[in-house]
Amino acid sequence: MSGRLIGGCLETVSLLAGTPFGDVPGFAARHAPEGLIVYLEAAESGPVAVARLLTSLRLAGWFDHATGVLLGRPGAPDAPELSHDDAARLALDDLDIPVIVDVDTGHQPPQLPLVNGALAEVALRGGHGTITQRLVP
């Protein structure tokens, strides 16, 4: 997948959806004709809350221009009735774009940085992935 990176901590950015500071569909229209790679991670939320937050972002149009989604490893444990992977499937499975889970970004080590607005290419082969970021207008 390739596109402009946009995202962050799910508990934080979900509060911005529907505001001028979280207008991801507008950002895509103005700055990302190549599409978006939406990256998110949950610092403390369990899987039920993650499913709700992802659904909220989906309803706010955050995935309308997405070429793919990256989800970092969550900080909270899975619940007996629902795993974090299941939560992602519930909210995003029918988007018809790649969704990669357990990415090494966010609040869990090694906390590799992603740059909002960077052009990125993501490849996943044999369980190993690469993300190449380019800082270009």
Domain with 41 in it: what CATH number?
Answer: 3.50.30.60
- On whether residue 39 sits in a domain, the answer given is yes
- On whether residue 118 sits in a domain, the answer given is no
pLDDT tier, 2 (very low <50, low <70, confident <90, very high otherwise): very high
Q: How many domains does the chain have?
A: 1
- On whether residue 72 sits in a domain, the answer given is yes
- On whether residue 62 sits in a domain, the answer given is yes
User: CA dist 64 to 28, 69, 121, Å?
Assistant: 9, 11, 19
pLDDT tier, 3 (very low <50, low <70, confident <90, very high otherwise): very high
Q: Name the token pair of 34.
A: 């190549």
Q: pLDDT tens-digit profile of 75-101? A: 999 999 999 999 999 999 999 999 999
- On whether residue 121 sits in a domain, the answer given is no
3-state SS assignment for residue 89: helix
Nearest-5° Cα angle at 66, 65 to 69? 160
Q: pLDDT tens-digit profile of 15-51? A: 999 999 999 999 999 999 999 999 999 999 999 999 9
Expressed as residue numbers, the domain containing 89 is: 8-112
3-state SS assignment for residue 70: strand
pLDDT tier, 1 (very low <50, low <70, confident <90, very high otherwise): very high
CA 71 – CA 126 distance, rounded (Å): 18
pLDDT at 137: 79
Q: Is it true that the peptide bond before 80 is cis, omega within 30 degrees of 0?
A: no
Q: Is the confidence at residue 123, as pLDDT, over 90?
A: yes
- On whether residue 135 sits in a domain, the answer given is no
* pTM score, whole prediction: 0.95
- On whether residue 40 sits in a domain, the answer given is yes
- On whether residue 120 sits in a domain, the answer given is no
CA 41 – CA 14 distance, rounded (Å): 11
